[in-house]
Amino acid sequence: MYLEFEVRRVCCRECNAVKREALDFLSDSPFYTKRFAYYVGRRCREASIKAVAEELHLDWDSVKTLEMQYMKAQLAKAGTPQPKRIGIDEISIRKGHTYRIVVSDLDRQRPIWFGGVDRSEASMAQLYAQVGPKKSARIELALMDMWKPFRNAAQAHAPQAAILFDKFHVMRHLGEALDKVRKAEYARLSGKDRRFIKGQKYTLLSNRENLTTEGRKALKTLLAANKRLNTAYLLKESFGQLWDYKSEAWARRFFEQWRDALKWQQLKPFEAFADMIDRHWDGIAAYCKPENKVLLGFVEGLNNKIRVLQRRAYGVRDE
């Protein structure tokens, strides 16, 4: 249906500007009603912009504009977030170390902020400025990786919040240490002794239960052939037990025993990893407290969803 009507235009005596009459039923784009803009936005949740444009006989740019109006209305409905426990992570949006910060409400399991121009402390401070001092003071827990600017921003704007380091980032550092040992062993050996190590990077780094039958056989052969890699692998597998403790004292005792097992093993990457854990111990030991038990995988899962959106939005330049 097409409507054709006259709109009043009035000359303002104060500023001498000509202004048009405001009509409540029109969207931000004066050629479409709010109901139609809402309908286009709902259709874009299920189909691509191109498909909706062809279905409704509209221009691609018009559909994109109406979809953005719909999304802004949905964000306005959500209101200002009032999180008590937040998850913080960064995500790359293009090549060249261009990052944005993603903040989630861990209790409601939904993203609440996507912003900043990089992953600096100043960018992180924008979240607390938007939330406000009163709501920032209600934050009880901040889950993050061991990136110092995130920790500094949390301590400056929400000092009452407990800092908890993400288990998946910690284990990733441990996996990198294991891979350095693998590379060192491959460089040290020569000839036929290398054949057990070559091409086994992901066999070593994967969880044992995720390996195929052939992968488990290759892992067994590799660990039997190389004593140093066998020791490093066992240390890596046993470290995951740290998150099972409910007492910080017992968790610390386990870590000290794990660290003592490194003596005389000549595993320099593991020693560097242990030093890093020691420096960031408070953010790891915080998980022992019952009130800090959260779903650690939610933040990583959210990042995967954002990457799917990035692939679907290939060619769209509007961030």
The pLDDT tens digits of the residues spanning 260-274 come to 998 888 889 999 999
Which residue range is the domain that position 45 belongs to?
9-78
Q: What is the CATH number of the domain that holds 150?
A: 3.30.420.10
pLDDT at 256 over 90: yes
The count of structural domains within the chain is: 3
Kindly state whether residue 4 falls inside one of the protein's structural domains: no
- How far is it, in rounded angstroms, from Cα 220 to Cα 230? 9
Banded model confidence at residue 190, pLDDT cuts 50, 70, 90: confident
pLDDT at 319 over 80: no
The pLDDT tens digits of the residues spanning 212-246 come to 888 888 888 888 888 888 899 999 989 989 988 88
Judgement on whether residues 40 and 91 belong to the same structural domain of the protein: no
Kindly state whether residue 317 falls inside one of the protein's structural domains: no
The pLDDT tens digits of the residues spanning 89-114 come to 998 888 878 899 999 999 888 898 89
pTM of the model: 0.78
Banded model confidence at residue 210, pLDDT cuts 50, 70, 90: confident
The pLDDT tens digits of the residues spanning 39-80 come to 999 999 999 899 999 999 999 999 999 999 999 999 888 777
The pLDDT tens digits of the residues spanning 144-182 come to 988 899 999 999 999 999 999 988 889 999 999 999 998
Judgement on whether residues 261 and 180 belong to the same structural domain of the protein: yes
Kindly state whether residue 69 falls inside one of the protein's structural domains: yes
